[in-house]
């Protein structure tokens, strides 16, 4: 592989990439009866997709697979630096567009016409968020990227995403350890076959007169509105499982 040109490498991974997307899309349909509402809101050009990070981001991954399978649209995704460095995963991550991209790399991806997806809450939100509470702190990096690339932000939210997996060990001590090291990930359990439905909100258009902090707050509000409209709280695994097989719910 090292002797091949970059174009040859991209061509080499094209079929495996399509196969991964196909298999993952089928898995999502069978196990979670996965649906996407609001595909018409996606711009034809580039955009930054922002999502709430549940214990796992399996819901977002299913959306990425569906976009590639049905529309052949690339969605590069920012992941934690520690995950990208795990031995054996780096090649796989590169194939499907997962990396701890720098700001310049993110802007370049968008300027090439692709989607870029990230969860501003990251590991903190995955570990310690309770019942769909957004934990972004003062993070505005994604807003600065969108403003520099002059692209819209697409807020999304997945119903029942917190009911697919749960974690244990959310205490003051583990939170302190996470804040000190940023390497702590709490043990998880689950893979419950709950109903998953991703809602794509209306894009927040590029506005040169808005600050990064204002854009970040606007995005947070958009995701909270989707959550409040479509998610029953507190979350319930039993209810989410029943929705998976409830014909009346599926019709509505």
Pairing mode, if any, of strands 115-118 and 47-51?
parallel
Tens digit of each residue's pLDDT (9 = 90 or more) over 26-83 = 999 999 999 999 999 999 999 999 999 999 999 999 999 999 999 888 899 998 877 7
What are the sequence ranges of the domains in the chain? 6-251
d(CA 192, CA 245): 13
What pTM value is reported for the model?
A: 0.91
* CATH architecture assignment, domain 6-251: 3-Layer(aba) Sandwich (3.40)
Catalytic, out of 41, 53, 81, 248: 53
Give the residue carrying structure tokens 């697979």. 65
Active site residue 53: yes
d(CA 214, CA 66): 31
Tens digit of each residue's pLDDT (9 = 90 or more) over 199-251 = 999 999 999 999 999 999 999 999 999 999 999 999 999 999 999 887 655 55
């Amino acid at each position: 592989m090292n002797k091949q040109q970059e174009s040859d490498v991209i061509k080499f991974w094209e079929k495996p990439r399509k196969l991964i997307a196909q298999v993952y899309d089928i898995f999502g349909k069978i196990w979670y009866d996965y649906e996407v509402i609001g595909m018409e809101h996606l711009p034809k050009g580039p955009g930054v997709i922002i999502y709430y990070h549940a214990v796992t981001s399996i819901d977002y991954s299913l959306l990425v697979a569906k976009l590639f399978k049905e529309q052949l649209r690339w969605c590069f995704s920012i992941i934690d630096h520690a995950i990208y460095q795990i031995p054996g995963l780096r090649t796989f991550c590169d194939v499907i567009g997962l990396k701890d991209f720098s700001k310049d790399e993110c802007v370049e991806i968008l300027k090439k016409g692709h989607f870029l997806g990230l969860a501003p809450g990251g590991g903190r939100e995955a570990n310690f968020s309770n019942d769909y509470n957004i934990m972004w702190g003062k993070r505005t990096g994604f807003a600065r990227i969108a403003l520099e690339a002059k692209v819209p932000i697409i807020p999304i939210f997945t119903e029942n995403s917190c009911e697919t997996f749960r974690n244990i060990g959310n205490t003051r001590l583990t939170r302190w350890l996470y804040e000190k090291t940023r390497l702590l990930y709490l043990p998880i359990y689950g893979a419950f076959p709950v109903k998953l439905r991703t809602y794509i909100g209306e894009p927040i258009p590029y506005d040169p007169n808005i600050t990064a902090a204002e854009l970040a707050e606007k995005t947070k509000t958009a995701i909270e509105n989707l959550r409040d409209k479509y998610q029953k709280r507190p979350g319930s695994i039993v209810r989410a499982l029943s929705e998976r097989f409830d014909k009346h719910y599926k019709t509505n």
